[in-house]
Amino acid sequence: MTDAPRTAPGPVAAADVTVDGTGLLCVALLLRLRAAIAEVEPGTVVQVIATDPAAPLDLPAWCHMTGHHYLGAVHEGPDGSVHALRLSADARPTRPDAPWRADRPSADTER
């Protein structure tokens, strides 16, 4: 068995937006990702550069939670990975300060 970098099977659409999370833990990476896609149109392909070893688990989980489409790892190697996702028109909103949590209206906004 070799340690060759893994890539996603089949072609992945070219990125419309790239989010560089080099050197960031997933918490900061998700904050950066959420901010970067806040005003981006549904259907946009986003590539995320990550060096946190948890990213290959956290990014698909975040996409599942939000409703965005995780397209897979474009590249995985010893220095990090690149992941692709497609933004969904019906994505579930997340909290600006905690994008790993659903954004639910507070009691103040429900009145």
What residues are labeled active site? 26
Identify the residue whose tokens are 């965005």: 68
Dihedral angle of Cα 51, 49, 72, 40, to the nearest 10 degrees: 140
Backbone angles phi, psi at 63, to 5 degrees: -60, -40
**C-alpha–C-alpha distance, residues 111 and 57, integer Å:** 38
